[in-house]
Amino acid sequence: MNGVVFDSSVILAAILGEPGGDEVFDRIEDAIVSTVNVAEVYTYAAINSFPTEAIDAFFADTGIAIEPFSHDQAVTVGGFAAKTRKAGLSLGDRACLALGAAHSVDVLTADHPWEAVADDLGIAITLLR
């Protein structure tokens, strides 16, 4: 598969018009996202009183492929815990990385601590900004 996995941070950058958000739209055609990371985007909305209609519109308008979180990915996420602990990666972060590993594609994030684990995990991580 050619493509890229989007972390919730890059989806929020696009929705909120943050720096680098334009690049998200440039790469959206080949992008996939985990349902776990979709949940993170809606969690951001709930915590920050952000209108979920904007998020709904993003997913509807872009048609980004949303992949359900699988049992195999759950096993991978658990296995990543020891290697990502020092960098402070969350379950959602590891879910994103597991999806990238499952499809052997790059992962796009705005979270700089991910760079510290890229080599240990054998996953290509690209920073949005």
Q: Distance between CA atoms of 61 and 24, rounded to whole angstroms?
A: 13
Domains detected in the chain: 4-127 (3.40.50.1010)
Question: Predicted confidence band at 74 (pLDDT cuts at 50, 70, 90)?
Answer: very high
Q: DSSP 3-state assignment of 123?
A: coil
* Cβ atoms of 108 and 14 closer than 8 Å: no
Question: Predicted confidence band at 43 (pLDDT cuts at 50, 70, 90)?
Answer: very high
Question: Predicted confidence band at 56 (pLDDT cuts at 50, 70, 90)?
Answer: very high
pLDDT at 129: 87
Strand partners, 66: 33
Question: Predicted confidence band at 1 (pLDDT cuts at 50, 70, 90)?
Answer: low
Q: What b-and-e string marks burial along 11-20, b requiring 16 or more CB atoms within 10 Å of the CB?
A: bbbbbeebee
